[in-house]
Each structure stands twice: as C-alpha cells, then as structure tokens.
Structure 1
C-alpha cells in the first residue's frame, strides 16, 4: 500500500528531530553547551548545516527541547506506574509553554542532582538505550494496576532506575546546563519535574500516612533521585543488570529508612 505523502514527510521530519535531539544530548554531555555548535550537532545527526535551521531556531532552543521533552516523558512514565493523569505530547522544538514563575537555577529536582564524577570521562548512552526523543523506558511494572503502596513505590523506583540508566547523557546535560535555558523552557522543566516529585510524595504518603510532613516526604524523594541519578556517570566494569538491581535495593532502603 502506498504511504500518503504527508504521513511520510511527517515521519521523516520526526525522525530528523529525534536524531537532532539525540546527537545534541550526546555532544552537550561530552563537551558542554558552549563546546558544541549547531553545525557539530547537524553533522552528528546527518543533517546539513543550513538544514538544521529548518528544524530548530537556535542552540538554546534545541537544549530546551531536550530537557522539556525528557521532563514530559519522565512525568508521563511516573504517572503511568504511580497513578495520575496522562501528560500530553512533548512540545515542538523551542515551543515549551510558560507554566509558572521562573525558578532559580537548579530548581528542577528530578534530573538535576547528578554530579560529574571527578576524573570521569564523558557520559555515554548505552547501546540499547532510547534516544533523547525516544520512548519511555519500560520497567517490570509498567502500568499502574494496583493500589498497594509498597508495590506502587517499587514500580516508581524500577521506572526511575531504568530511566536514569537510559538517559545518563540528558541527566548530565541538565546538571551542567540548566541555567542556559530560556526562562520559558526553564519554567516548563521546573513545573514538569515538580509534578513528577509530587507523584513520588503521594506514593510515600499512601504508604506512610501522616508519619512525615509533605516537606519531609519531598526530601526523601529528592535524596532517592540523587542516589539513582549520580550512579550511571561513575559505573565502570559492572554489568547493567547488576547495577540496576543494586540501585533498586539501595533506593528502596533509602525511601523506607
């Protein structure tokens, strides 16, 4: 059957967008925002220099697309396993909505806690990981089908560990270059990731009741993110399945201590 021209063109455009996002995330992680040009990104993605501007208006807009896109997928995946309304599609390049007051630098918590390990080489995406514009990593418990608080919490941990192992480049980019976003993109990232934190604090509240205040539950969730997010940058010589299981055990221990 012949594919409609519009559909084929839309698919090709989406593929080029995904290639640009993935190449930009990898290069930003390796060299930093200031060490990369749009020409470098286009070359890595197989898109000619002038053609890059048909997909993105600036390097800053591309950075915004990466971090807003990944934040939307993070929230969508968290709500899928932890409960909550679905998230709409990721914004187009540079088209992130303004969703609230501009945060201070570093105020987007769910990805920004990953430090670069001293002397560590560039973060590289695993060969089987999705691109920056790819699908949400699947976990052992990929759909919210239970109201048991312990099961929901375990599902959230499974999801975030899979996400961090798949998106090590993007985590490093946010940690290093969040302050380079436009105010609108930074607001979008902040609000999406704060909503993701709320999924976790709700799960902790369902499990522990009023044993802790909302602020204390938030501290617990953020500490868990820091533990998980920092590890993929420094792991060397340990098989990915072992890393995953270790992170899950440690994260659950931290959350329930």
Structure 2
C-alpha cells in the first residue's frame, strides 16, 4: 500500500480536516476570498474554534505548502531506500508516488501555483529548498536509468514530468476522469515516455557529431 493510500485510510484529525477544507476553499476561491468562519463551518466548528489549532489563515497556508513539499521529499527518499530491484523499479515507484499526490491533492497544486508568493520569506525559501532536494533525488535516479542523459537534460526532464503530472487540476472534476486507476496508468505511461523522449532527443545531436567527425576523416 502506498503512503498516500495509507493516509487516505487513516482517520483524519481535526487539524487534518481543517487543512483539507482550507486547501479546497483556498483553491476554489483564492486565499483572500475565504474567511476563517467559512473554514470552520466546513469542518463543523465555529470560526473562533479554528484558532485553537492555527494562528490564522497565513499559518494554514504555510503548513499546507511547506507540509506537502516535505512529505513529497520524505516519500521520495523512502521509496529510493526501500524499493529493491533495478533503477527502473525505483523510478517507477517515484512516479507512482507523485501520481498519488497529483490525483489525491489536486487543490494543493492549485494553491502552490497561485499562493506561494503569499508565504513569508522564510517559509517560501523552505518550500523551494525542499523542492530542489526532491528534484535532485529524481535526477539521480533518472540518470541511472538513462546514463547517456546529461545532468542538465535530466533536470529539465524531471521538471517537465512534474509539469505533466501536476496538470491534474486542469483535467476536469474527478468524476469526469476515466477512473483513478486508468488515469494513474495513463500518467505513468506519459511520464516514462517523456523521460525516454528526453534521451532520444540527445541522439540526433550525437549522430550529427559523429557524422561531422566521419566527414572530416573523409576529407
């Protein structure tokens, strides 16, 4: 069972419920379009009751964005450590973990895109730091799977795959998708295809260089 699957089956705490509804409402209406009273009503408590758990909306936003960045990194490290088999198996596991996030935490993707700049500097820097570590974790594995891929190209490919997987908020409402398993399988194929294409794109350049060398030898 994946980490996200285990989390889905766990009983959420009141704090978890507040964060989940805050993420949904912030994503739907924007950070400034949602009041504390609305978040409280969504979880069945009074607005002032929210302050027993959080100092305010800014604290919720910071915990949401710093929290998901930390969980992605921790989950990625765990998969790299625990998955046995060739690098391909590790890469597949990393892709599966990110797909779980992309399908289960779609509001957080929207929230990150729209509201990251609202975080105070220290929190925003922490998010970026965690994200960079997560990217480099992938880059290392991708280059083991595709050893001919230059580091800069591998990093660009990882960012491109994240963009692809994180497109889920634009795929329509969950009910409009072909089903979670089918969507996850499609996203997985697309991700592996993108990495393979990154490797293929380097081939013509290599062939051209070889052709130029051969041509030079013929003169």
Question: How far has the Cα of 1:33 moved from its partner?
Answer: 0.7
Aligned residues of 2:83 and 2:89 also touching (Cα < 8 A): no
What displacement does 1:25 show?
Answer: 0.5
Of structures 1 and 2, the one scoring higher in RCO (CA 8 A, sep 6+) is 1
1:225 to 162, 169, 180: 162
Counterparts of residues 64-143 of structure 1 (less than 5 Å): 64-83=62-81, 143=82
Secondary structure of the 2:52 match is: coil
Q: In terms of Rg, which structure is larger?
A: 2
The question of 1:198 aligning with 2:139 is answered: no
What is aligned with 1:253?
Answer: 193
5 Å matches for 1:235-250?
Answer: 235=172, 236-250=176-190
2:15 aligns with 17
Partner Cα distance (1:239, 1:150) in 2: 26
More helix by share: 2
Q: Structure 2: how far apart are the matches of 1:154 and 1:223?
A: 16
- Count of matched residue pairs: 184
TM-score (norm 1): 0.68
Q: Does 1:234 align with 2:171?
A: yes
Q: CA deviation at 1:82?
A: 2.3
5+ residue gaps in structure 1?
1-11, 84-142
Partner in structure 1 of residue 29 of structure 2: 31
Question: Considering only aligned residues, what root-mean-square deviation do their CA atoms show, in Å?
Answer: 1.7
Deviation at 1:54, TM superposition (A): 2.0
Kept after mapping to 2: 8 A contact 1:168/1:233: no
- Per-residue CA deviations over 1:184-233 (Å, capped at 9, x if unaligned) read 11111111111111110010122223x23322211000000111110343
Return closer, same or farther for 1:76/1:212 CA change in 2, 3 Å cut-off: same
**Of 130, 144, 150, the match for 2:83:** 144
